[in-house]
Amino acid sequence: MFCTGLPILEFGYREEEADVAVQSNVAGIAKPQTTKGKSSLFRQSMRRLLKNKLAVSGFVVVIFMFALCFIGPLFSPYTDNKINMAMMNKAPNMKHWLGTDALGRDILTRVMQAGRISLTVGLASMVLSVFIGALLGAIAGYYRGIADQIIMRIADLLLTVPSLPLLFIFGALLSEWKIPTDYRMYIVMLMLSIVSWPGMARMVRGQMLSLREREFMQAAVVLGLRDRRKLFNHLLPNIVPLLIVMATLNIGGAILSESVLSFFGLGVMPPTPTWGNMIDAANNMIDFQDRPWLWIPPGLSIFATVIAINIFGDGLRDVLDPKQKR
C-alpha cells in the first residue's frame, strides 16, 4: 500500500518566480515569467505519457471500469439486491449475462454496484491519506524540532505494524462494536487512510527537507515572506507531482485492502455488495467448482482495476521524474 523510493519530483514554477525576485532585488536583473514554458512542459509531459503504450492502456482500463461501475447500473433492468428465488444460481444466459447468485440476484448488476463501493472507498481513503500525510509531512519537514519529532514518532509507530494485520484488528473491533452496516463503509475509508498516511508523510517530509534548502526558499526568506506563504505558495506546489504519483499508486492498494477486509467479513457487510464480499459468497467447494460465475467476475474486476491503476501510476512516475527528461 505504501510507495517508497520515489525520486525528487519538481516542476519548478515557484522556484523560477522566486529566483527572478532575487535577481531583481540583488543584481537588478529580472526576466519576465510567461506561461509559454509551463504549457510547453505540460505538452512535453503529455507526449511522453502517450508514448508509453502500457500506461495508456492502463488508463483506458481504469476509465472503462469507472464508467462501467458508475454509469452501467443506470441502464441495468435489475437492482443489486432484488431477490428472485426462481432464478437462483443460474448460469450465464441471455437475460443474465453473468448469471445469478444463490438469491437470484443478477451478478453483472451486483459487480457494477460493488465496483461503485470499492472504487469510492479507494478514492476517498486516498484523498484523506494524501491530505493528512502531505499536511503533517510538510509541517514536520518545514518546522522540524518538536513538531517533527512528534509527527514522525507517531508515523514510525504505525509503520512498525504491517498494514494488513492492523486492518484486521480494526475490522474485528468494528464487528465487536456492532457498527451499523450503513456506516461501515465510512469507517473502512478512515481505517485505510490511517494505515496509509505515515508513508505519505515520511516521503513529503523528505522532500520538504530538501526543498527548504534550495535557492528559491532563500529568496523567499530574503523577501520576508511569512511561513504560511512559503509553505503553501512555494514548497507544497513543488511536491504536487510526487503527490499525484503516490496518490495514484495508493488507490490500487486501498481497493485491494478493502476487498481483502470484505472477503474476511471485516469490511463492508452484505447486503451492500463489494467485490470482496461477492467473492466470499462462493465460500464452499461446490460454488467454487460448479458455479465459477459467482467469483470470477468480481475477482477479475479487482485484478484488472488494481493492475491497470498501478501500470498507469508507473507511467506517471516516469513522466514526472526529471531524471528521465532528455
Higher local confidence (pLDDT), 17 or 202: 202
Q: What is the pLDDT of residue 318?
A: 82
93 class by beta-carbon count within 10 Å (0-12 exposed, 13-18 middle, 19+ buried): exposed
pLDDT value at residue 28? 37
For 115-326, the fitting CATH number among 3.40.50.300, 3.40.50.10490, 1.10.3720.10, 3.30.559.30 is: 1.10.3720.10
For residue 58, pLDDT over 90 is answered with yes
Mean pLDDT for 31-42 is 55
The per-residue pLDDT for range 71-124, each reduced to its tens digit, is 999 999 998 888 888 899 999 999 999 999 989 999 999 999 999 999 999 999
Percentage of residues in the chain having pLDDT higher than 70: 85
Predicted pLDDT at 98: 94
Grid cell at residue 228: 504560511
Phi, psi of 100 (to 5 degrees): -130, 165
- In this prediction, residue 63 carries a pLDDT of 96
Please state the domain extents for the chain. Answer: 115-326
Cell numbers placing 188: 473502512
The whole-angstrom separation of Cα 237 and Cα 127 is 17
- Position 182 scores a pLDDT of 74
pLDDT in tens, 128-160: 999 999 999 999 998 888 999 999 999 999 888
What pLDDT sits at residue 275?
A: 94
How much is the pLDDT for 46? Answer: 80
pLDDT reported for residue 240 = 86
For residue 234, pLDDT over 70 is answered with yes
pLDDT at 170: 82
Mean pLDDT of 168-175: 80
C-alpha distances in Å from residue 39, one per residue of 30, 42, 288, 297: 21, 5, 53, 42
Residue 21 has pLDDT above 90, yes or no: no
pLDDT of residue 36: 54
Least trusted range by pLDDT, from 5-19, 158-172, 214-228: 5-19
Task: Categorize the per-residue pLDDT at 213 as very low, low, confident or very high, splitting at 50, 70 and 90.
Answer: confident
Q: 155 is written with which cell numbers?
A: 508515523
Considering the chain, what is the average pLDDT of its residues? 83
Which DSSP state fits 266? Answer: S
**Whole-prediction pTM:** 0.80
Look up residue 75 and give its DSSP letter.
G
What is the rounded distance in angstroms from the CA atom of residue 115 to the CA atom of residue 69?
Answer: 5
